[in-house]
Structure 1
Amino acid sequence: MITQDFSQPIDSTTVLQKIILDKAAWVKAKEAAFPLSEFQQNLSKSDRSFYNALAKGSHQKPAYILECKKASPSKGLIRAEFNLNDIANVYKHYAAAVSVLTDEKYFQGYFEFLPQVRNLLSQPVLCKDFMISEYQVYLARYYQADAILLMLSVVNDDTYRVLANLAHSLGMGVLTETSNEAEFERALALGAKVIGVNNRNLHDLSVDLNRVVKLTEKYADRIPADVRIISESGIYNHQQIRQLQKVAHGFLIGSSLMGSQDLNNAVRAVIFGENKVCGLTRVQDVKTAYENGALYGGLIFAEGSKRCITLRQAQELVTAAPLRFVGVFQNQEIDFIVKIAQQLQLYAVQLHGNETAEFITALRTKLPESIQIWKAISVNTEEKSAVNFDDDFNVTRYIFDSQTANQQGGTGKTFDWSLIPENLKHKIILAGGISPHNIEQAIQQGCLGVDLNSGVESSPGVKDKAKVRSVFEKI
C-alpha cells in the first residue's frame, strides 16, 4: 500500500513538481472514469522480457531503447507528423526495446499508443510515464506494456518497492531512473536490475552528459555485474555514444531522433556513426554497404579514377538501397556537378581536387539548398606537421584522406592521424587506407565516422562482402 502523498508537493515551482501535482490529479480522474475493477481480472502477464532484452547490452555493443515522443516540456512539439506505424517500422530494425511516452499534458502521449506500437514489432515496450500509483502500473499492463519507468526523483523507497513488486508480478520489467548520487545509491540498495541515469536535470531541464560517467565511476565497485546501466537524455550523435559506452551498457534516445524528418538514417547515424562506403560501382555492393550499417554511399565521377562511373550506372545504384548518396568530383565544371547532383538527387557533393573557396561559394549559389557540400583535405602520407586550413562555412563535412606523390584519394594508405585538427573532428570523416586491420584505431580518433574504399575491396570498384562486414562489426 502506498502512503506517499503526491497531491501536496513540497516545492511546486520546479518543472518536475508541477508535473507530479498534475499527475496526481490525472490519476484520480482516470481511476474514477475507468475503475481498476473493470479490467484487473482480464490482465495477463507480459511475455516479452525487458530484462533479457537489455541484458544483451554491453560496453562493446550497447543496447538501444528508442523512444516514441511527440512533445516534451523542454522542446515543446518535437514531431508534428507523429505516425506510430512509420516510427515502429524503423525502430524494429535497431532497438532492444521501445519506449512510449504516455503522459498527456506535457508529452502529448496516450496509453493507447502502447498496443499500437507493440503490435508492429517483437521487442518489449516500455511505458514511459510518471508512475506514482498502483493503478498506473495495472493500466500500463492493460495496454500491453512490458516494462515501466520508476523515477527515484519522484517515489520514495517504500513506494518504489510496492510499484516494482507489482510490475514484476505482472511480468513487467522496471527501468529505475536516477539523476544524482543519492538516487543512484538508492537504486543499488533497492536491487534495481536496469538503472537509468538521466543526464537531464528535471528541475531546471539542463543537460550534463558527464553525470552518467561520474556516477558509474564513483560506484563502480558496487554495481553488480548483471546490472545494466542506461544513459538517458542528451544523446545526439555517435561520438557521444562512443564516449559514454565505456561506462554505460545502453542508451535511451528520443528527442534527437523524433526531431528528424529522415528517421531511419537518423537512427543509423547515432548508432553506427556517419560512415561511408565510397567508390561504389555495383548494385550488390550498395546493398552490402546499407545492410551492414553505412549511412553514406560514395559515387565517383572524377575522371581518371579507377572507380569512375557514368550517370546511367549511378541511376541504377541510387535505387538499390536508401543510403545517403554522395557524388565525388575533382576539379570539374560547376554546371556538370550541379547537373549530376540534381538528376540523382544527391545528399551531398564531395570536392576532391584543388577547388578554391571562391569555387565553393559559386557552387553553393547554384546547388539546391538541400544538397550539402563536402571537401576532401588531402594529407600527404609523409606529412609530419599539423594540417592547417580555413574552415569554410559552406562546407558541411571534411573528408581527411591520404595523398601520395602522384595520387589524391584511393591510395590504400594511411596518413598520420595525430595531424587531424581536434577542434574540427565534429565535421570530419576519416578516410585513407581504412580496413578491417586498422578500423578499431580509426574509430578511436573521435571523428564523425570513417570513409571506406580500397581497404574493403577485392579489386578496384569491387567491394569484398566479408571485409565490409568485418569493418562494421568492429564499429
Structure 2
Amino acid sequence: MNSNTLNNILHYKNEWIKLHKLKKPLESFYSNIKNQKFLKRNTKNNPAFILECKKASPSIGLLRTKFNIPKIIQVYKKYASAISIVTENKFFKGKFKYLKQASQCTNKPLLCKDFFIDPYQIYYARYYQADAILLMMSILSNSQYVIMSNVAKKMNIDIVTEVHNISELHRALSLNADIIGINNRNLKNLSIDLKTTCRIAPLVPSDRIVISESGINKYKQIRMLSRYVNGFLIGSHLMKSNSLKKTVCSMIYGKNKVCGLTRVEDAFIVKKSGSIYGGLFFYKSPRYIKLRDCKKITSQVKLKYVGVFYNSCMKYILSRVIKLSLAVVQLHGQENQDYIKKLRSLLPKNVKIWKALPVFNNFPIERYNYINCYLIDHKNGGTGKNLIGILLKKNNVSKMMLAGGLKLNNIFQASTLGFCGLDLNSGLEISPGIKDSKKIRHAFNIIKNFPAQYILKN
C-alpha cells in the first residue's frame, strides 16, 4: 500500500460514508446498538494474540480463496485473545457481515479493522457487533482523533491506536491512547521492519497495552518481540496458509514435538495442547512402541508423526514410513552422509529427514546434505539432562530443535533461545512412555505465555 493507494482508499472511504449515510442513516439502527465485550480485558495477559480474518490486501492481492468466516473462527477461537475482522470492501474485499458472522461463532472480542475517519463508521461497526476499532494516527488529525475517541468511549468500544513512528506515538500518548498498535509496515513504500516495534515500544508507559502489527510470520519473531510488547496482531501469514490450525499453532507455540508416545490418550492431549509433531520410538528404548500400537495412535489422532530410529536398517525404516504415513524420519544414531543420501533417495519426497546431533561440552559443528532439521540433544536422547547452559552462546539455531532435559522449570528459558521448536519427552512423563496430561498442558501454557517481568518498559 503506497501513498497513492492510501489516498485512493481514503477517497473511496469518504464516498462510502456519504452513500451509507443515505442508505442507512444512523437513526435507523442506533436503537439496536448494544454494548458488550471489552478488548482490554483480554489483552492484559501476556501475550495477547489478535488473529485476523482478511480476505485480500492491496499489496498481495487475494489471500484466501475459500474465505469461510465460521471455519476460520472455529480455529481462531481456541488460541486467540481477540479476533480482528477487516471490513474495508473495495481494496481488502471485506464485509461488515463478517463481523456479525464472527460474533455468532465466538465470545472473543472482535476488532473491526477499517479506515475510520467519521463517527458514523464507529456506530456502524458497533451495530455489526464490533467490540473494538482501529484508529490510525497516520490518517487522523488530533482533533479528528478526539472526536472519534469520544464516540467510541460513549459506545464502550475499545480503541487500538495505530502508530508507525515516534512522532505518531507522542501524539497518541498526548491523546491518552491506552492500547498502542505499532505497525511495522511503512505505508509509504510497503517495507516491513520489525525493529520498528523495538524502537517504539520502550517509549510507551508501562500502564499501556502494546500490540505489534504486520510482518510477523515466525515463532522466533514472536519470542524476539515478546520482550517489548503485550501482544501481536497476525493476519496475512495465517490467511495465506493451506493448513490454518497448524500455522496458528506454529506461530504461537513453535514447531514442537512431544516424543516417546505410547498411548492414544497421550497423543490426544499432545495435539489438543498445540504440538505439531508426535514422536514414535522404533529402537530399543523404554519408549519403544509396537506397530499395532502405533497404528492405533496414528489412526485416531491427527498429528505429524516422527519416527525415531537409531542406526536402523533402511528396509525397516521404509516399512514404518509406509505403514504409518510418517511425516518425518528422525535419525538418532551414527548415520553418516552416505547413509543419509541413500535413505533420501528411497523415501517419498514429502517425508523429511531430521538428524540428532550429540552435545557434550561444545555446540556441534557437523552438517549433512539432505537434512531438513537438526535436533540438538545428548547422545542417545531421553536422558533428562539439561543443555540450556551450553547453548547460551550465540549460535544460529533457527532451523534446529532443542531437546534434552526440557522440564517445566526450564521450558520458558528454552523457548527464548531462538530454536524453531522444542522436543519434549521425559520431562512430561509419569514414567518412561507414560505422559502426564497436566504436565503437557502446563508445558504448552508456558511456551505460549511469558512472565510480565520479561517485558522491557521504561
Instruction: Give TM-score, length-normalised by structure 2.
Output: 0.91
Aligned partners of 2:3 and 2:429: how far apart in 1? 61
Question: Equivalent of 2:188, from 183, 203, 206?
Answer: 203
Counterpart residue type for residue 18 of structure 1:
N
Counterpart residue type for residue 16 of structure 1:
L
Aligned partners of 2:87 and 2:15: how far apart in 1? 15
The secondary structure found in structure 2 opposite 1:148 is: strand
Stretches of structure 2 that go unaligned for 5 or more consecutive residues are 448-458
The secondary structure found in structure 1 opposite 2:93 is: coil
Counterpart residue type for residue 399 of structure 1:
L
Of all paired residues, the percent bearing the same amino acid is: 43
1:144 counterpart residue number: 129
Would you say 1:33 and 2:23 are equivalent positions? yes
- Correspondence 1:391-406 to 2 at 5 A: 392=369, 394-403=370-379
Q: Mark the CA change 1:78 to 1:338 in structure 2 (over 3 Å): closer, same or farther.
A: farther
| Displacement of 1:98 | 0.4
Deviates more, 1:166-175 or 1:363-372: 363-372
The secondary structure found in structure 2 opposite 1:325 is: strand
1:83 counterpart residue number: 68
Q: Mark the CA change 1:327 to 1:284 in structure 2 (over 3 Å): closer, same or farther.
A: same
| Displacement of 1:47 | 1.0
Aligned partners of 1:369 and 1:83: how far apart in 2? 31
| Displacement of 1:341 | 2.3
Question: Equivalent of 1:22, from 2, 6, 12?
Answer: 12
The secondary structure found in structure 2 opposite 1:426 is: coil
Aligned partners of 2:200 and 2:27: how far apart in 1? 42
CA distances 1:232-271 after superposition (whole Å, capped 9, x unpaired): 1111122111111111001101111112111112111111
Question: Equivalent of 2:153, from 168, 172, 179?
Answer: 168
Question: Equivalent of 2:302, from 302, 309, 322?
Answer: 322
Question: Equivalent of 1:48, from 31, 34, 37?
Answer: 37
Would you say 1:425 and 2:397 are equivalent positions? yes
| Displacement of 1:162 | 1.3
Counterpart residue type for residue 121 of structure 1:
T
The secondary structure found in structure 2 opposite 1:318 is: helix
Aligned partners of 1:390 and 1:152: how far apart in 2? 49
Question: Equivalent of 2:355, from 375, 378, 390?
Answer: 375
Question: Equivalent of 2:263, from 275, 282, 286?
Answer: 282
The secondary structure found in structure 1 opposite 2:210 is: strand
Whether contact under 8 Å (2:34, 2:127) holds in the other structure is no
Aligned partners of 1:311 and 1:171: how far apart in 2? 58
Stretches of structure 1 that go unaligned for 5 or more consecutive residues are 1-11
- Correspondence 1:45-444 to 2 at 5 A: 45-55=34-44, 57=45, 61-217=46-202, 219-220=203-204, 223-225=205-207, 227-302=208-283, 304-379=284-359, 383-390=360-367, 392=369, 394-403=370-379, 408-415=380-387, 417-418=389-390, 422=394, 424-444=396-416
The secondary structure found in structure 2 opposite 1:450 is: strand
Question: Equivalent of 2:435, from 454, 457, 463?
Answer: 463
1:7 counterpart residue number: none
CA distances 1:129-165 after superposition (whole Å, capped 9, x unpaired): 1111122112211211111111001111111111121
| Displacement of 1:328 | 1.3
Instruction: Give TM-score, length-normalised by structure 1.
Output: 0.88
The secondary structure found in structure 1 opposite 2:357 is: strand
Whether contact under 8 Å (1:387, 1:419) holds in the other structure is no
Whether contact under 8 Å (1:399, 1:428) holds in the other structure is yes
The secondary structure found in structure 1 opposite 2:106 is: coil
Whether contact under 8 Å (1:384, 1:419) holds in the other structure is no
Q: Mark the CA change 1:441 to 1:51 in structure 2 (over 3 Å): closer, same or farther.
A: closer
Whether contact under 8 Å (1:176, 1:194) holds in the other structure is yes
2:453 counterpart residue number: none
Whether contact under 8 Å (1:417, 1:445) holds in the other structure is no
| Displacement of 1:386 | 4.0
Aligned partners of 1:120 and 1:466: how far apart in 2? 28
Counterpart residue type for residue 322 of structure 2:
Q
| Displacement of 1:109 | 0.9
CA distances 1:21-57 after superposition (whole Å, capped 9, x unpaired): 22222323333333334323x33232111222223x2
Whether contact under 8 Å (1:45, 1:171) holds in the other structure is no
Counterpart residue type for residue 239 of structure 1:
K
| Displacement of 1:168 | 2.0
Q: Mark the CA change 1:258 to 1:369 in structure 2 (over 3 Å): closer, same or farther.
A: farther
| Displacement of 1:391 | 5.0
CA distances 1:339-387 after superposition (whole Å, capped 9, x unpaired): 32233233322122222334333333443333322111122xxx33442
Structure with more relative contact order (C-alpha pairs < 8 Å, separation 6 or more): 2
| Displacement of 1:320 | 4.2
Whether contact under 8 Å (2:260, 2:287) holds in the other structure is yes
What count of residue pairs does the alignment treat as equivalent?
Answer: 446
CA distances 1:65-101 after superposition (whole Å, capped 9, x unpaired): 1100111122222112211111100111111110001
Q: Mark the CA change 1:389 to 1:153 in structure 2 (over 3 Å): closer, same or farther.
A: same
Whether contact under 8 Å (2:362, 2:390) holds in the other structure is no
